[in-house]
Structure 1
């Protein structure tokens, strides 16, 4: 009872604080009228229009660890006049601090609201706000094949982001993870089937949109079949346009038909389409000819972060920005040397390297997008509310997928089990131990146990793997990340994928182990052995 009273008191204090802060800051336009967009564009200077096309981060422009508006941030905003700001974990400490930061920023928006965005895809890989309701991520949702659940998950994320002052989420990931060696997508993908990815992505988009958050589908035209991390170098995909149309482009066409308003272009070379080996983000053939003309997208195109090595290692900040705009991009995300980039773009227009009409097209799209922003926001008491935690629990449970079934389960209360220690001291081991003990299971040493449990976080421990192949006791492996790990663990009696290390996912797998949960997840990707032979076929969509 005391705990509930404390939480209620904290919520009331937070609400009062935000009300007082809004009044202290004064009334500032957080929306613009759609009917006024053409007139507003006409009244803007070239410098203001180009500022609208820049989405900056404070880590680069001011310095790491910015958690509130200060003189340095005010100076950067006044100089660059950006149209948007992206937050990272370094900018986020608590709900109250984050809400205060976004509100203080909007107070300085000069009458045109900022797009304030963040990467909050769900799952652990890209999770900037750890205090939000913890969803298991896209591959767990793909395993569920549940469109309604996916929409509810995105709606929960959207409501909580909205309550903190965000209006854009760089999600969903629309990439089909067709390459098991992909170092950057993996469980961030809904799966390898383009039709499943299309429908799940559209459901996710709808959930965000209904919560007042702009969805950004990424990474066009597809980041799922690469072996190079574009943060570190330029990946190349040697697929023809016809191959892309039969696979990677299917989800994008479906999203465009269903109202996606923003798409992020990838830093990947597609030499069959762009002969100059430019990344898609800087390619007119891909951004304009393919995305806009062939697929008919007329929304806002956002580049992937321009400080990534796929671009930054080859192009100067100014050249990358000019190329991206001429390619057809509307918003340049995280350009290095943002003030230099702004000046270079102004000069490019004055010297007719870029036409002002081209700038106007982008700014018109941006202003039309901003004209849709909600005037009212959720209060922060929606975060981890009882209703949201129910969705978290359902998503975790429906994502549990059995790759190899151990017919001797469930674990009996008189059975002794032990956790295999790989030296990682990972929190998941502690959580599952606690949950099984609370369920009446005896957790003991490996020597005394009748059954062994190994929670797999990474693939790299070859020595442990070799030793366990000699083990005579039955082994259950629980993979909390990629299901492709199974390729090295075929010898075990049972292999379970959660696709997530969240507390809710660990609780769900605990419930499965003791027979209190029926695992219904369907594997959304195929698993291959070292020769490329399929050893477990994707179940695609199933109920």
Structure 2
């Protein structure tokens, strides 16, 4: 497929689409199709023109976003030619270095151009930053909860704009971010620091700032996970979380961020594999619920953007139906794109058969395909130029990006306990233990604090934790440090809830992330070269610490 700008006629640009069919086994139009001129640059009208030229098989293909195979475009040629998918999702096994990813992205778009209707691909990735980060290169920002601790929408926007620049440089045009879940459950095993916090207004403000910056950078933003995954104690990757919450409580806690994102015209929203029996009587996870997707998201909130499922290979959506039926029911519920079906052929065949049999009406199918095409037009995919593999390396190794990540980490550090230990006295020696200890220790040494060989030889013991509430070994390490008689400083690098299991500390810092920049930021605060300015973005059960708390120097 190629799109080229023709001379301006009557004040409007005209796009010319030419397609050549590839190896699509289901393509009913063998050989070259005649050139098609799009007479409108309005995404709505242009999408309708494209839709009119698509076969049923090509339309169904646009609903699917499978996992990419391998590290080259050629390894996925059969999938593109046979199924004409709407996109692919990248994972670390697909990604080596900037040049390789850029070359692969270009090759995939070339395959799509030569196949079926020639519609470009969404090439997506989970690049939330922090612990959910797939790229093996580029600046690594701290997790969303660290951004929440800064209280700064400009920091959220800087994270997203930097990430968008890195993704665009290698041909990735969609990011499954931001997380719009409100984390109100300290035992949440899957969201936690991926959330901006427990306050709906804060989460909505920061998620909207990220979404706007992603989209301004030419990358599709995907808010997740509707209707909310922040109050679960089960991981939907391994089971089906049940949220026994009233409609009133859901509207107060979980809904506000999504409402704000709908009002901001976010490109895409991802569903959650969660069961909410007091909002929906279908006994289906939200991904398969017409009441929640069509009824609430579409009709009540007025959202007409693209809805994608969360990954369909997760156990939370595979409890009651086979994988083909799951795909069909997701479409019937109102989803437009089906992410990561565990068996692409089974799911594709099931949806195609459901349309041919009338179970899914063609009008319903066309609604989804039009939304997908409109978004591809809005984000410029249909006239996008190939990316430059050589230039991609320079973007990935951008000094300014790393500095931006460090600024965010520095601003996030939240001091919650301090019995006069911090900042350290000039030249005080430290013994550093636990998760992140090597990086924190190296940074402290660089800042003039020698590393002691043992806790008994140190002026202060610093212990890193990450999930100590559920890890007896980490709690024992803190207890051993306290037994040395030296003051103990704990640096919590996961959720800030560890303090509830670690009483009587001399000082406690939350950095909400195990990224290198966060460990460096912790050392800077401990040494006093940075004054702590972060504020707690959640309440901490079992303590007197609440949203908004934070000490300074």
TM-score normalised per structure 1: 0.88
Aligned counterparts of 1:163 and 1:406: Cα–Cα separation in 2: 48
1:46 counterpart residue number: 56
CA-to-aligned-CA distance 1:481-531 (integer Å, 9 cap, x gap): 1101111113110000111222222222221111111110000001012xx
In the alignment, the residues of structure 1 paired with residue 98 and residue 83 of structure 2 have an alpha-carbon distance, to the nearest angstrom, of: 27
Alignment counterpart, residue 499 of structure 2, candidates 486, 504, 513: 486
SS in 1 for 2:490: strand
Q: How does 1:501-516 map to 2 (within 5 A)?
A: 501-516=514-529
Counterpart among 216, 232, 245 of residue 222 in structure 2 = 216
Pick which of 395-404 and 432-441 moved more.
432-441
Residue deviations 1:409-453 (CA, integer Å, cap 9, x gap): 222233222123x5xxx5x32222222222221211212112111
Report SS of the residue matched to 1:263. Answer: strand
Give per-residue Cα distances to partners, 1:18-63, cap 9 Å, x unaligned: xxxxxxxxxxx9x9953421111011111000000001103xxx5x
Against the structure 1 CA distance between its residues 54 and 204, is the aligned structure 2 distance closer, same or farther, given a 3 Å change threshold? same
Within 5 Å, give how 1:318-333 maps onto structure 2: 318-333=324-339
Q: Distance in 2 between matches of 1:162 and 1:453?
A: 40
* SS of corresponding position for 1:108: helix
Contact 1:52/1:84 (8 A) holds in 2? yes
1:431 equivalenced with 2:435 (yes/no): no
RMSD: 2.0
Q: Does 1:295 align with 2:301?
A: yes
Q: Does residue 339 of structure 2 align to residue 341 of structure 1?
A: no
CA distance in 1, matches of 2:94, 2:541: 40
- Whether the 8 Å CA contact 2:237–2:316 is kept in 1: the answer is yes
2:245 to 239, 242, 250: 239
Within 1, Cα distance between the matches of 2:413 and 2:153? 16
Deviating more after overlay: 238-247 vs 257-266: 238-247
SS of residue matched to 1:107: helix
> Could you tell me how far apart the structure 1 residues matched to 2:186 and 2:240 are?
18
* TM superposition shift of 1:208: 0.5
Most deviating of 443-452 and 326-335: 443-452
CA distance in 1 between counterparts of 2:278 and 2:307 reads 22
Task: Could you tell me which runs of 5 or more consecutive residues in structure 1 were left unpaired when the two chains were aligned.
Answer: 1-28
Q: Distance in 2 between matches of 1:471 and 1:175?
A: 41
**Whole-angstrom distance in 2 between the partners of 1:121 and 1:218:** 11
The residue matched to 2:183 in structure 1 has which SS? coil
Q: Aligned to 1:405, which of 389, 414, 418?
A: 418
Q: Are positions 1:352 and 2:354 aligned together?
A: no
Residues 462-488 of structure 1: CA distance to partner in whole angstroms, max 9, x if unpaired? 433444454422100011111011111
Please list every run of 5 or more consecutive structure 2 residues that lacks an aligned counterpart in the other structure.
1-35
Q: Note closer, same or farther for the CA distance 1:506–1:469 as it changes in structure 2 (3 Å cut).
A: closer
- Pick one of 99, 102, 116 that aligns with 1:99: 102
Q: Which residue of 2 aligns with 1:387?
A: 400
| Alignment partner of 2:378 out of 355, 372, 383 | 372
* Whole-Å separation in 2 of the counterparts to 1:409 and 1:463: 23
Number of corresponding residues = 497
Return the offset for 1:314.
2.8
Alignment counterpart, residue 322 of structure 2, candidates 316, 320, 324: 316
1:465 to 1:393, Cα distance in 2 relative to 1, 3 A: closer
> Match of 1:357, SS?
helix
Over 3 Å counting, the alpha-carbon distance change for 1:299 and 1:541 in structure 2 is farther
Aligned partners of 1:417, 1:476: CA distance in 2, in Å?
Answer: 10
Equivalent positions of 1:36-435 (< 5 A) are 36-58=46-68, 66-70=70-74, 72-110=75-113, 111-124=118-131, 126-374=132-380, 375=384, 379-380=391-392, 381-420=394-433, 422=434, 426=435, 428-435=436-443
**Superposed displacement of residue 542, structure 1:** 12
